[in-house]
Structure 1
Amino acid sequence: MGHFMEPLRIAIIGCGPAGLAAALLLARQRHAAHIFDRFVSPGPVGSGLMIQPSGMAVLAALGLAEEVVRRGARVDALQGIEEHGRCVLDAPYAALGVAGAFGLGIHRASLFDVLFEAAARQPGVSIHADHAVTGSTCDAQGRRLLFEGRAPSAPFDLVIDASGWRTGFDPAPKNVLPFGALWASLPLQPGDPFAGNLLEQRYRRAGQMAGVLPIGSRAGGAGPEVAFFWSLKAEDHTAWLATPLDEWKGEVLRLWPDLEGLLARIETREQLTFARYAHRTHPAPVGERIIAIGDAWHSASPQLGQGANMALLDAWSLSRGLAEGRTLAEKLRLAAGWRSDHVWLYQWVTKLFTPLYQSDSRVLPGVRDRVLAPLSRRWPAKGIQAQLMSGLFGFPLAPLGLALPDYESLSASLTSFAASGEPQS
């Protein structure tokens, strides 16, 4: 049972999935949610992402699952093939044993739009653009935000740091990973040699990886797209910038010849964005009148596709903590406590698995291909692999009062959208 508490005045730093979901949830609890973003026009950064069943559970509870599904692309499995054509990763969602379960590939802009539009409609949410937060101070009246080139804010009862892994509220080294990735969102055309319902990857040992993820259709776009990505070490990015584009494409095609048509749609280097990743966990996500959620609390490589999903779970846990606790300190402790085991688990699993797919090791890819791949096709490893991929390993939903969405209903909606030819907006 929840405890009554006067509505709070809450500042949220960052207008990404974590910040928007938190604002939407907290405003529905009658709190005043003020989002501060450093961009003049807040928007998404990046290309595609995966919404896993763990994140879809939150979107369903928000009443946004159908709209997100309408804009995304159904993904039934993750498939990885090494350079000689042997399948070394086959992870179907069917192995979860949940009727109709699937992942959803979606452009970051589409997820942003759904959350932003819902937040903009929600009474109690205010969005303040062009506010670069540089820090905060706390006194008896509350916590005030400090801005670049602006006067400090009025005091807030609570500050939520949803500013991402580059957060300025954690002074510890960010532990930026050596491997990043080049990303591009490219149009999908009839006859393209991609399954359409798979996240497909190709590996040359662990030093090179290419991937294609269907990501649905953006509002105002010309049609369905895929996210293409190519792993690249940060120290090699400067050399890549000096390499003729066709020479780089040749390198990619030697790993995955079927990408020829897709790569032909990359006409300029500007179509590709280099993304960096960090593996870090804030040692103190809860402080006096402040809490970190999403990547500001914990960030990792994208190998397990959990970033946005963990952020959505954090936002939900925070809203539940504010409803259940008696004092503000207890509310924040509950919010972080319900998530801490799941966060710890995925941080360690990601740390263990990432070198199998992105590293300079010559030994680990052999372990992946000759030991782990055969094991993953057998019970119980196949089900555990599906649990890990779906974000459900460690049973994160029950402590938060969440349940898996009705995937059969979502599948029917997805089928009806496709059959109607309804333009996606």
Structure 2
Amino acid sequence: MNLDQVLIVGGGIAGLTSAIALRAKGFDVDVVEQDPNWSVYGVGIIQQGNVVRAVAQLGVLEDYLAASYPFAGLEMFAPNGAHLVSIPTPKLAGEDYPANLGISRPALHKVLGDRALAAGAKIRLGLTIEHFEDQGDQVSVVFSDGTTGVYGLVIGADGLYSKTRSMLFGDRYAPAFTGQAVWRYNLPRPDDVTALHVYTGPNSVGLVPLSDEAMYLFVTSPEPGNPWFALEDRAAEMRSRLAFAGGRIGALREQIVDDAAVVYRPLEALFVDRDWFEGRVILIGDAAHATTPHLGQGAGMAIEDSLVLADELAKAKDLPTALSGFMARRYDRCKFIVEASLEVGQWQLDRRTDVDNPGMVHRMFEVTSQPI
């Protein structure tokens, strides 16, 4: 297949897990990341059962366990704190491993970066692609510093605002603001927050354990017009999104005082509704299927992409077969996650009270429990 060298554009979750998976299959891998500091924002992320299974297959689960907080399921509450339902989640990696993990993004970034480097991936920072030319049997690449390279495959793992996607498909696919945003804040973890806690109400609220000491609080709110908030206003703005809440959430609200610690992100989504590749260039992760966080599966879909792509490249007799096999295994699954997450967000925007939120969560678990 002439895959002597693979280029991955983007050093985030999709890019690093792809590098680890490809190195395990014997491919030579270069990774370029445009951020010279290789930084991530400092809140956390939920890794559900399918992700625990995927990182086990990737060979990094023990590193994950050392850097994360394991938990068994999801607890749903009314805005006043009344318990509504417990939703257990399957142990897809085996009975000896947890069903879910909460992990801080800096810790996750370190685990994946260290393992990619240890596996032999060559990572260059402060660099991205400027131009590529698919020559049929190889891809000629010009980088942003003027250097060049020749690769058998280019993987665009460069996220929501993917430059690789724009080079492939022009402006046909662009992130769309959904009308909502998410606010996140790290707090000390109470002893009884040992699972994902989700509170229904006018704004969806959740508590995610990250370690013995820490958790994060999130609130998803409507934000008409996609406003921008000055740093010095963000703690007060986040507290205002929680004004409806009493009980535990009301008490936690008053601890949100550090503007710089508030992480605010408008929610945007996209789905590339065609093959995610042309010739020897392919998109994975958010570059192809960016979802909102309502079902907690954005990173999970990216990690699964990485495993499946490496598997198909290793077993197929030619590149078109490999990339088509990848699409057959990933398209419908990722499409479901994007569309179902957007549906939940729309329920929240419409203030729907006639919907089955637990049912949607159960459906998500059913889909993601299936083999990748």
Shift of 1:76: 2.1
Shift of 1:139: 2.2
Separation (CA, whole Å) in 2 of partners of 1:196 and 1:322: 42
Alpha-carbon contact 2:183-2:238 (below 8 Å) kept: no
Q: Which residue of 2 aligns with 1:49?
A: 45
Aligned pair count? 362
Separation (CA, whole Å) in 2 of partners of 1:296 and 1:88: 36
Separation (CA, whole Å) in 2 of partners of 1:244 and 1:11: 38
Q: Which residue of 2 aligns with 1:393?
A: 367
Q: Which amino acid aligns with 1:346?
A: I
Secondary structure at the residue paired with 2:176?
coil
Secondary structure at the residue paired with 2:267?
coil
Q: Which moved more, 1:326-335 or 1:73-82?
A: 73-82
1:103 aligns to 2:79 (yes or no): no
Shift of 1:84: 4.3
Q: Which residue of 1 aligns with 2:58?
A: 62
> Which one scores higher on RCO, CA 8 angstroms, separation ≥ 6?
1
Separation (CA, whole Å) in 1 of partners of 2:91 and 2:243: 32
1:164 aligns to 2:174 (yes or no): no
Q: Which residue of 2 aligns with 1:267?
A: 257
Alpha-carbon contact 2:49-2:91 (below 8 Å) kept: no
Q: Which residue of 2 aligns with 1:182?
A: 183
Q: Which residue of 1 aligns with 2:239?
A: 249
User: Once the two structures are superposed, what CA deviation does each residue of 1:341-365 show, in whole Å capped at 9, x if it has no partner?
Assistant: 2122223322332323x31x13x2x
User: Once the two structures are superposed, what CA deviation does each residue of 1:272-310 show, in whole Å capped at 9, x if it has no partner?
Assistant: 111133221123301110111111111111011101111
Alpha-carbon contact 2:295-2:361 (below 8 Å) kept: no
Separation (CA, whole Å) in 2 of partners of 1:294 and 1:285: 10
Q: Which residue of 2 aligns with 1:408?
A: none
Shift of 1:41: 2.2
Q: Which residue of 2 aligns with 1:118?
A: 115
Shift of 1:32: 1.2
| 1:203-242 correspondence to structure 2 within 5 Å | 203-205=200-202, 208-216=203-211, 224-234=213-223, 235=225, 237-238=227-228
Over 3 Å counting, the alpha-carbon distance change for 1:395 and 1:197 in structure 2 is: closer
User: Once the two structures are superposed, what CA deviation does each residue of 1:158-216 show, in whole Å capped at 9, x if it has no partner?
Assistant: 0001111111214223222211111122333xxx3x632121222333xx222211112
Secondary structure at the residue paired with 2:148?
coil
Alpha-carbon contact 2:181-2:266 (below 8 Å) kept: yes
Secondary structure at the residue paired with 1:204?
coil
1:342 aligns to 2:333 (yes or no): yes
Q: Which residue of 2 aligns with 1:78?
A: 74
Separation (CA, whole Å) in 2 of partners of 1:266 and 1:177: 25
Over 3 Å counting, the alpha-carbon distance change for 1:35 and 1:88 in structure 2 is: same
Separation (CA, whole Å) in 2 of partners of 1:141 and 1:253: 59
Alpha-carbon contact 2:3-2:153 (below 8 Å) kept: no
Alpha-carbon contact 1:15-1:43 (below 8 Å) kept: no
Separation (CA, whole Å) in 2 of partners of 1:210 and 1:174: 24
In structure 2, stretches of 5+ residues that fail to align are none
Shift of 1:57: 1.4
Over 3 Å counting, the alpha-carbon distance change for 1:321 and 1:40 in structure 2 is: same
Shift of 1:136: 2.4
Separation (CA, whole Å) in 1 of partners of 2:175 and 2:188: 34
1:315 aligns to 2:310 (yes or no): no
Over 3 Å counting, the alpha-carbon distance change for 1:325 and 1:248 in structure 2 is: closer
Q: Which residue of 2 aligns with 1:18?
A: 14
Q: Which amino acid aligns with 1:330?
A: T
Shift of 1:254: 3.9
Separation (CA, whole Å) in 1 of partners of 2:185 and 2:263: 7
Q: Which amino acid aligns with 1:228?
A: L
Over 3 Å counting, the alpha-carbon distance change for 1:53 and 1:246 in structure 2 is: closer
Shift of 1:151: 1.2
Separation (CA, whole Å) in 2 of partners of 1:140 and 1:315: 23
Shift of 1:387: 5.4
Over 3 Å counting, the alpha-carbon distance change for 1:82 and 1:27 in structure 2 is: same
Name the TM-score, length of structure 2 as normaliser: 0.87
Shift of 1:6: 5.7
Secondary structure at the residue paired with 1:73?
strand
| Superposed CA RMSD | 2.8
Separation (CA, whole Å) in 1 of partners of 2:246 and 2:291: 27
Alpha-carbon contact 2:46-2:101 (below 8 Å) kept: yes
Higher strand share: 2
Secondary structure at the residue paired with 1:393?
helix
Shift of 1:250: 6.0
Q: Which moved more, 1:33-42 or 1:55-64?
A: 55-64
Alpha-carbon contact 1:202-1:255 (below 8 Å) kept: no
Over the matched positions of the two proteins, sequence identity in percent amounts to 19
Shift of 1:339: 1.3
Over 3 Å counting, the alpha-carbon distance change for 1:385 and 1:260 in structure 2 is: closer
Separation (CA, whole Å) in 1 of partners of 2:354 and 2:188: 36
